[in-house]
Structure 1
Amino acid sequence: MLRNAYKKSGLTVADLASATGLSVGTVNIAMSGIRYRDGKAKVAIPADRTLVKLASVLRIQPEALRAHDRQRAAELLAEATDPSAVSPIASDLDAQAVAAGRSALARQVLALFAAEELRAELERRGRAEHDAIDREAWDDVADTLRSDQWPV
């Protein structure tokens, strides 16, 4: 599940590590499910908190975790992604992970567009904002003319 979501994300392991606050090694172990100790490969199942951090960046839903018998991780992920739950960020490391995740997502989104497309969008938004301000000014003038302050 993690590997599939990782492949679809287009992120690098370094991006994922930065976005989650985990080490590159921890991300690799979680993705492969294998940890090497004394030159021997051993099965490694990621801890719930590690899985939640990876799942939140990779946009894995709690239901997918439940389908893989990771109930506690699913509960933690549901709590972490609940928009109605206002929970302060537990530590500076978590805050850095949140910021890195948003940064990685922004890089992904911006990478989809050419520089000219971005420039055109910024110009369009500037014109739209200018037009909205003009409409608001004209509405204010019309309201003033309709008010008791001016004779009709």
Structure 2
Amino acid sequence: MNEANNHAEIDVPSESEMLKAAYRSSGLTIGDLAVATGLSAGTIHIALNGFRYRAGKANVAIPPDRTLVKLASALAIHPDVLRVHDRSRAADLLIEASRVQPPQEVSFASEREAKAAVAGRSVLVRQILGLFSADELREELERRDQVEHELLKREAEKDISETLMTDRWPL
């Protein structure tokens, strides 16, 4: 059930409605978005729903430009869509963010420093993976495979429908 429907007095911001529609069609989870954007799940929920609770009361929450840009980037929303929602500054930031080059290859002053960095990352990976059981990791991999399969299936269906719509069949 949509929480906004429980709060008829709240005027949900149009950019939140746009974000929510893009999120629903993306096939991503809130967790996926959190990892991709570096935002907390709570921040993402607030941006998608357009309201937050304070003192037990729901209040309108317009997503800040930086939050909007991170979510728009992860959800592949074009800057012009942000402009339609009167968020020109966010659109400009999104364009600027898309121009940023990926980080350069990391170099180390010595082999010893490189080995220390690798060891540190290895420890971190073991700590993170240690939080999950083998069954949980297997289920997550299966879930991701299923999501990828569904996305590929949707793309194939879209390609077929576009082909059928553009080809002229003899009558």
TM over 0.5: yes
Q: Secondary structure at the residue paired with 1:50?
A: helix
Q: Equivalent residue of 2:28, what SS?
A: coil
Contiguous gaps of at least 5 residues in structure 1: 90-106, 114-152
- 1:94 is matched with which residue? none
* 8 Å CA contact 2:34, 2:41 repeated in 1: yes
- TM-score, normalised via structure 1 length: 0.57
For 1:34-75, what per-residue CA distance to the aligned partner results, in whole angstroms no more than 9, with x for missing partners?
010000000000110000000000000000000000011000
- Give the equivalent residue in structure 1 for 2:49: 32
- 1:9-88 to 2 correspondences below 5 Å: 9-82=26-99, 85-86=100-101
| Cα 1:74/1:9, change in 2 over 3 Å | same
TM-score (norm 2): 0.50
Q: Size of the alignment, in residue pairs?
A: 94
| Runs of 5+ consecutive residues of structure 2 not aligned to the other structure | 1-17, 105-143, 151-171
Q: CA RMSD in A?
A: 2.2
Which of structures 1 and 2 has the larger relative contact order (alpha carbons within 8 angstroms, sep 6+)? Answer: 1
Are 1:111 and 2:126 matched, yes or no?
no
Structure number, greater radius of gyration: 1
Q: Which runs of 4+ in 1 moved over 3 A?
A: 85-89, 107-110
